[in-house]
Chain A
């Protein structure tokens, strides 16, 4: 490992960091614009063309705003919570591959923060650490609305993490049949979704269907998507910050840049969850690159483009759901989680296992 390798590692981390910040700036604006369109409004249109610089202006404002610290807060925990929200949000994306490995001067550079052997578990670990930020913020604010928001966040996170984990297990088990042994590495999961279902099953007529996990694991995809919306505390599962009942929920007592950090973390989490859904179900960066017929630079950049296109397709679903669905009641949220999603995920897991077993080992009576 020489200096250049080290430089490449640093560059990969910095690029992911920058990507997340830029994407967040765009997403906040995009959400406001799209929700405005759906509700027959104009939305932000003052700063820059189409109001695209609106988020930047808002961010600057938050930077220079006075930071109000209520008298009853638990100061240490209160100051720590915003950081604890942002750091896991940034770290989670580090294991997501966002492009095909490129070759620069004889060195293969994977376009990914780092390829961990335990990639999927790392994602689950970081998302469970992220809950702490909400809980700590809610508790340390020393007022009742944030506390209620914090308690709700804990219950919601515990409930929906189980469903999300189970849907991931189905994907991991399916992926194990597509190659040599099981894997939790996201780069490997993407690599095993290359090609088409026609080639994989030996049916030429299906050659146009890409070999994404989406098709065999459709139910798991649905469960994952619902759980992802709940995990990111987005409408219709945004009980954590339900304005009508909890003022602002866990971040009621935060202002200025500290509030901005919670906001940033939420939008980074939306992008990361969409990117993970893309990686697990939509084939990640896989897509036609027209190798040889287009310049090499184009076919090196195209996978990243495909990745972003797929991720944004899922993000648009997030926005669409937010603009369309009313918020669930708290007991409905718990019932959906424990009585529908988790049993559903279990049934799907068992069905999926039986099919995989039969495909691998044949019928038990033959």
Chain B
């Protein structure tokens, strides 16, 4: 019961945030809508006992990424006369068709009744191995290669960002120009 109530609240909040992202006139409001959505998802993760995923979601997305978004929006400011013309041809038709298809699948699932409600962990469910430990174990044994490759990829991205900011058309930028 508690789970259902929490789910409804967070799901509505997540959807409201998502709608805000698209419809808000002000980009700061959009960013805050996205923050709301990401945070609501984190609460859903907590309800499902995925504490680690929730914490990472809040730290990385709601925390670091969104703060950076806001920072950029505030610092650079946004031109009010933004170019809102669409460059993707037939974008709206495609969205309508895909949306209808997804909606149809959901309706079909509900009508056929071929799904089960999986109860999430209540307050008295013991976490067998501790969530952090349960994630760390396979991550650093079975999936160590994928983990290291991802780390390498992130390092390359960081180095690339620095290179883009520092070198310009083959010239090293003067310090404090």
Which residues of A pack against B, CB within 8 Å?
Answer: 1, 74, 77, 116-118, 121-122, 124-125, 128-129, 131-132, 135-136, 139, 147, 150-151, 154-155, 157-158, 181-184
Contact = CB atoms under 8 A, between A and B. Distances in A.
Given A1-B124, A147-B74, A150-B74, A117 B64 contact: no
B95 interface: no
A135 B70 contact: yes
Contact of A118 (B28, B55, B68): B55
B56 A121 contact: yes
Contacts of A116: 51
Given A132-B35, A158-B64, A181-B133, A139 B74 contact: yes
B137 to A, nearest CB: 10
Contacts of A117: 51-52, 127, 130-132
Given A147-B74, A151-B75, A121 B59 contact: yes
Interface in B72-126: 74-75, 122-124
A192 B131 CA distance: 20
29 contacts: A118-B51, A118-B55, A118-B131, A121-B59, A122-B55, A124-B55, A124-B59, A125-B63, A128-B58, A128-B59, A128-B64, A129-B39, A129-B58, A131-B67, A135-B71, A136-B32, A139-B28, A147-B74, A150-B74, A151-B74, A154-B67, A154-B71, A154-B74, A155-B71, A157-B67, A158-B67, A182-B136, A183-B130, A184-B132
Contact of B58 (A1, A77, A125): A125
Given A1-B123, A118-B54, A154-B67, 5 more contacts: A77-B28, A128-B67, A135-B70, A158-B71, A184-B132
Nearest to B49: A117
A125 to B, nearest CB: 4
Task: Please list the 8 inter-chain residue pairs (A to B) with the smallest Cβ-Cβ separation, ordered nearest first.
Answer: A128-B63, A121-B55, A125-B58, A154-B71, A118-B55, A118-B51, A1-B124, A125-B59
B116 to A, nearest CB: 25
B41 interface: no
Dominant secondary structure of chain A at its interface with chain B: helix
Interface string B121-164: 01110010011110010000000000000000000000000000
Interface range on chain B (Cβ under 8 Å from partner)? 20 to 34
A136 B73 CA distance: 12
Contact of B62 (A129, A155, A183): A129
A177 to B, nearest CB: 16
Given A154-B70, A184-B132, A129 B63 contact: yes
A1 to B, nearest CB: 5
Contacts of B133: 181-182
A158 B132 contact: no
Interface in B18-70: 26, 28-29, 32, 35, 39, 51-52, 54-56, 58-59, 62-64, 66-68, 70
Contacts, number: 81
B132 A118 contact: yes
A57 B122 CA distance: 44
Contacts of A147: 74
Contacts of A184: 132
B71 A151 contact: yes
A156 to B, nearest CB: 11
A135 B75 CA distance: 12
A128 B55 CA distance: 11
A1 B123 CA distance: 8
Contacts of A128: 58-59, 62-64, 67
B154 to A, nearest CB: 14
A183 B52 CA distance: 12
Contacts of A150: 74
B68 to A, nearest CB: 7
A132 B59 CA distance: 12
Contact of A125 (B26, B55, B68, B127): B55
Of B26, B122, B132, most A-chain CB atoms within 10 Å: B132
Contacts of A136: 32
A147 B28 CA distance: 13
